[in-house]
């Protein structure tokens, strides 16, 4: 595994965790949180997949990280539009993750 992936891996894991927290907290909220919930799941899943791809030294890492950054951007925009603390934390983790992914690609 390329040592330059260290910061990206840390950001991917933090983003995955923040999205999962936001997802579970949003499930308890009203219907208006459905878009947030859907993006939290998408983002957590792509972060998890990207971690595995990096660990496997997959030749598809650049494409996976590009997709991950795009999904993180979408999740950032959605979560940042809500006032809940878990959404703000998730938005910040997504912003950082997209930035780190783009450093690699």
In the prediction, which pLDDT does 53 show? 97
Mean pLDDT of 77-98: 96
pLDDT in tens, 15-67: 999 999 998 888 887 677 888 999 999 999 999 999 999 999 999 999 999 99
Sign of CA dihedral 61, 5, 92, 19: positive
How far apart CA 51 and CA 65 sit, in angstroms, is 9
91 vs 97: CA distance, rounded Å: 10
- Of the candidates 75, 101, 97, the residue with the CA atom closest to the CA atom of residue 88: 75
Confidence bin at 74 (pLDDT 50/70/90)? very high
Check residue 1 and give its pLDDT.
60
What residues have CB less than 8 Å from 103, skipping those under 6 apart? 7, 8
Higher pLDDT, 99 or 2: 99
Residue 32 is encoded by which pair of tokens?
A: 């208006």
Q: Both tokens of residue 81? A: 């539009």
Q: Is 83's pLDDT higher than 90? A: yes
Position 73 pLDDT exceeds 90: yes
Task: State the Cα–Cα distance between residues 10 and 33, nearest whole angstrom.
Answer: 27
Give the closest residue to 90 by CA, choosing from 42, 19, 24, 30.
19
Of residues 38, 52, 25, 47, the one with CA closest to residue 93:
47
């Amino acid at each position: 595994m390329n040592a330059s992936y260290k910061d990206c891996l840390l950001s991917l894991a933090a983003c995955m965790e923040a999205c999962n927290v936001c997802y579970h907290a949003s499930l308890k909220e009203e219907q208006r949180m459905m878009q947030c919930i859907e993006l939290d799941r998408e983002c957590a899943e792509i972060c998890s997949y990207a971690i595995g791809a990096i660990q496997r030294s997959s030749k598809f890492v650049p494409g996976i990280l590009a997709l991950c950054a795009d999904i993180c951007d979408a999740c950032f925009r959605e979560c940042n539009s809500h006032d809940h603390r878990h959404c703000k934390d998730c938005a910040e983790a997504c912003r950082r993750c997209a930035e780190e992914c783009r450093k690699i690609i």
